[in-house]
Structure 1
Amino acid sequence: MTRTRLITAVAALIVPLSAAIAQSALPTPPATSAVAPAAAALEPFIAQYKVYKGSSELGEATLQLVRQPGNRWRVDLLMRGGGLFKIAGVHADQSTVFDTSISGQTYRPLTQATVRRVVFTQRKTIGLYDWKSRTARWTGDVKESRSRPVALQPGDMSGLLINLAVIRDAAPGKALHYRFVDDGRVRDHRYQVASDVESMGAGDMRFDTLRVSRIGNTSGDETLLWVANGVPTPIRILQRDDGQDSYDLRLVEYKGIQ
């Protein structure tokens, strides 16, 4: 697929999710310094993945980071099924609009949206992170237990933002700690970065990667990411639930976008 066709296809996919976000009022950004935000570490990209469960290929996924006016960004993850995955009618879209600090080292979520479809069932949620009142709240198809306001703390991030932060922060042997606030849930996420590199293929590319594992988790789910120096997107993302692979995203290609 050419770069033009790839970007066009992703733009078509993201329209419904972006529209959902636009329907929710974004919080007014705080006054900023005249100095331009130092967010140079973030660069817009689009990445294509194959989605597996064990040895079975389930479909495709697209992860992209899009620059917005000022110091705002949007990160999207779009998953589309193929084969049995398509027959089951499963797909999921996630998107987070966020801003960055002057130093570029803080990713602060503003709005989060999720759309999940399984066969004839569709679930949509919209989350608003109101940093003036220090609360976040989700509306739409939200469980009652997740519809109550969540008290925000500095550094809170959505799941997609934590993935970006792991790429930014990973170093051999380093321990990472983030607070996950997403879809009405609050969890402490602790990661351990491996000390040794692993060689990993991605399409026709090969990378020296660091495995980053979420540790100390009591909810029964597990996340592992493999990241490579200079690559803005994970080389691989493996999600496990109760010891079983839930999905496994393996990078095929990535490109910078304007």
Structure 2
Amino acid sequence: MTLVRKFALLPLAAALLVSLAPTADAAVQRFDGRYTASYKGLSASARMTLTPARNGSWMYLLTVDHMLAKLSQATVFQDMGTQYRPLGGSDRSSYASIQRGVTTNYNWAAGQARWSGDVKPTRAGPVALRAGDMDALLINLALARDVPAGRPLSYRMIENGRARPMNYRVIGRERVTIAGRNYDATKVAQGGAEKQTIAWIVAGIPAPVRIVQRENGATTISLQMNSWSR
């Protein structure tokens, strides 16, 4: 999915903590957001966290818990000031006895991204990298950064063995309530009638406060923030 396509368990976190030179930019801060989630009619709890990793890098983790399934996505990235550079990703899911896991490796020195694990050979890469490329999770952070600043909302997403443009547009404003407090949110959307993602962005909150994905007019995935903290 554009912003929240897949969910997963995270046994591969240690493999994602890639050694890098530390960054001088300190714009990224710790974040812990709690959400109510819905996936094709199933209700669950969800959590997004931003935590420091090694040598100035960060881990952005999304987890979704349901009694029948545990899902999560994780990305280790470097804050470049005006860009978030992905270094590695893990996308895993567990449903009953069925488990699936995909790991993404970004080799910026070689300019390539590759995928391993439960992935088709045609989706294993390599895909040529360009400056500014991000995965779906990092686009969440980019939207939270760029919408309040009035920046262009055009990105290139690297996912599932391919690269594609993701162009968002502002579609309105809406009042939202989080933990009993009201906020003014900007609504942005990407896609069209067949498949669309809508995100609600509040200035000062470093992740979308709501995300909805629709297919042919029906909501398939929804995340609604209940609370957040640093």
Q: Does 1:225 align with 2:199?
A: yes
Which residue in 2 is equivalent to 1:209? Answer: 185
CA distance in 2, matches of 1:25, 1:78: 18
| Secondary structure class of the residue paired with 2:104 | strand
| Secondary structure class of the residue paired with 1:75 | strand
Identity %: 31
Instruction: Identify if the C-alpha distance between structure 1 residues 143 and 246 changes in structure 2 by more than 3 Å, giving closer, same or farther.
Output: same
CA distance in 2, matches of 1:160, 1:100: 14
Which residue in 1 is equivalent to 2:126? Answer: 149
Runs of 5+ in structure 2 lacking a partner? Answer: 1-7
Which residue in 2 is equivalent to 1:96? Answer: 75
CA distance in 1, matches of 2:16, 2:208: 29
| Secondary structure class of the residue paired with 1:155 | coil
2:24 to 24, 37, 51: 37
Runs of 5+ in structure 1 lacking a partner? Answer: 1-13
Return the letter of the residue paired with 2:58. W
Residue 121 of structure 1 deviates from its aligned partner by 1.2
Q: Does structure 1 conserve the Cα–Cα contact (< 8 Å) formed by 2:34 and 2:225?
A: yes
The structure with the greater share of residues assigned to strand is: 2
1:170 to 135, 140, 147: 147
Return the letter of the residue paired with 1:20. L
Q: Does structure 2 conserve the Cα–Cα contact (< 8 Å) formed by 1:97 and 1:110?
A: yes
Which residue in 2 is equivalent to 1:21? Answer: 13
Which residue in 1 is equivalent to 2:101? Answer: 124
Return the letter of the residue paired with 1:129. Y
1:70 to 44, 55, 64: 55
CA distance in 1, matches of 2:39, 2:13: 30
The structure with the greater share of residues assigned to helix is: 1
Which residue in 2 is equivalent to 1:5? Answer: none
| Secondary structure class of the residue paired with 1:197 | strand
Residue 175 of structure 1 deviates from its aligned partner by 4.3
Q: Does structure 1 conserve the Cα–Cα contact (< 8 Å) formed by 2:212 and 2:222?
A: yes
Q: Does 1:80 align with 2:40?
A: no
Which of the two has higher C-alpha Rg? 1
4+ runs deviating over 3 angstroms:
23-26, 171-175
Return the letter of the residue paired with 1:197. R
Instruction: Identify if the C-alpha distance between structure 1 residues 226 and 135 changes in structure 2 by more than 3 Å, giving closer, same or farther.
Output: same
Query: Normalized against structure 2, the TM-score is what?
Result: 0.87
Residue 117 of structure 1 deviates from its aligned partner by 2.1
Q: Does 1:46 align with 2:54?
A: no
Q: How many residues align?
A: 223
**Considering only aligned residues, what root-mean-square deviation do their CA atoms show, in Å?**
2.4
CA distance in 2, matches of 1:99, 1:155: 12
Q: Which has the higher contact order (CA 8 A, sep 6+)?
A: 2
Query: Normalized against structure 1, the TM-score is what?
Result: 0.79
Q: Does 1:255 align with 2:229?
A: yes
